[in-house]
Amino acid sequence: QIEKGVKMQKALALENLISNGIIQREETSMEKEMAGHHREYFHLGDVMYFAKKACEAVAEDEVTRRFSSEELLSWNLLSRTNANFHCVSWQVTVVWIIGILIRYCLLMPFRICLAFFSILLLVSATTVVGQFPNGSDDFPCRCRENRPRKGGICVANHTSPVDVLILASDGCYSLVGQVHGGLLGLIQKSCMQTTQHVLFERSEMKDRHLVRKREHIEDKTKLPILIFPEGTCVNNTSVMMFKKGSFEVGGTIHPVAIKYDPRFGDAFWNSTKYSMMTYTFNVMTSWAIVCNVWYLPPMVKEEEEDAVHFANRVKAVIAARGGMSILPWDGGLKRKKIKESFKEEQQKKYCQIVTENGSVGNGNVY
């Protein structure tokens, strides 16, 4: 009994370490750190606080961590998730080799055949169906509590294109997404033949996009829109900033939380590192993709609430249900740099601390 307890504790501690990364960040604010010094003038050591923060950022930053695959507490026998290979015993190595044989020689060929035929079927079927004139969009959907209804907007956290597959297999949606080329582009084009989707180019979003969305949801016969407000794939350990665009159009928001079980395979698509084909190959040679989907009660923007506040409210609900942490950062940081205004914020704050405690003016010297 005691042994089990100790083991659990150790596991918990290790899990805490890993989820917090390599550095133990102390939760002191700028104010507390500065208060230690004489506060009548600027102190040489004030720079220490910022130097420390800078070193922490260089060693590890919260944002970049979210764009690489989650580090696992215990190895799931996929070589791509094991960085410290030298720690492993021969028994585990044997099991790993058997695992490779099963995954590459048994699971993968089966899955490739399945995928090939499915895509073939999809392309041909949608080409055929697309020829018919627009009929009624009444697909038989089972009515389960909290499932997104027509005319609503469904928002979820984003980890990979598989999210779409999972949700779409359980309901019918209109999709909003980045236009891709290659295999994914082909699938997108086929889907466009039969249902109304909104595809855009990331670099030229904004107003036109908003107008199209508004038109879509106002038409109550149209399918619910599925949107991923983070705007990019994140590694499923945290939920990043929800872009306010989807929360401005009005209508009912149906939040959905999607959490993958990392023990069976890594579902995160690192689009800057892997192409769709490489990603698909990785997925097919994993054990499985196991995922939990929670449909949450619908939410509506309140009278005095602004879009950003509403977005954060929805984000908090999704993160809480899925067991993920919340980050205020923009997923767009994957591709572009941070705004100058953030730097100025820090400087202003520091300036306030220094000047309100010191006497600033000509001739006053302490």
Partner 1 sequence: GRQWQELPPGKRKKGERGSGFTSEQIEHLHRRFRQLSRDQLTIRKENFDSIPDLEFNPIRAKIVHAFFDKRNLRQESSGLADEINFEDFLTIMSYFRPIEMNMDEEQLDRFRKEKLKFLFHMYDSDHDGKITLQEYRNVVEELLSGNPHLEKESARSIADGAMMEAASICGPDQVYEGITFEDFLKMWQGIDIETKMHVRFLNMETIAHCY
CA distances from 269 to 60, 232, 236, 280 (A): 21, 10, 10, 9
Taking Cα atoms as reference points, which of 190, 290, 302 lies closest to residue 247?
A: 302
Task: Give me the least distance between CB of 278 and partner 1, in Å please.
Answer: 11
Residue 263 or residue 309: which is nearer to partner 1 going by CB? 263
Residue 208 or residue 273: which is nearer to partner 1 going by CB? 273
Task: Give me the least distance between CB of 52 and partner 1, in Å please.
Answer: 6
Strands 225-227 and 290-295: unpaired
Residue 51 or residue 165: which is nearer to partner 1 going by CB? 51
Task: Give me the least distance between CB of 7 and partner 1, in Å please.
Answer: 10
Residue 34 or residue 314: which is nearer to partner 1 going by CB? 34
First-to-last C-alpha distance (Å) of the chain? 64
Task: Give me the least distance between CB of 92 and partner 1, in Å please.
Answer: 5
Rounded-to-integer distance, Cα 60 and Cα 18, Å:
13
Residue 10 or residue 208: which is nearer to partner 1 going by CB? 10
- Per DSSP, the three-state class of 58 is helix
Rounded-to-integer distance, Cα 12 and Cα 113, Å:
41
- Per DSSP, the three-state class of 291 is strand
Task: Give me the least distance between CB of 286 and partner 1, in Å please.
Answer: 14
Residue 87 or residue 143: which is nearer to partner 1 going by CB? 87
Three-state secondary structure readout of 226-254? EECCCCCCCCCCEECCCCCHHHHCCCCEE
Task: Give me the least distance between CB of 26 and partner 1, in Å please.
Answer: 7
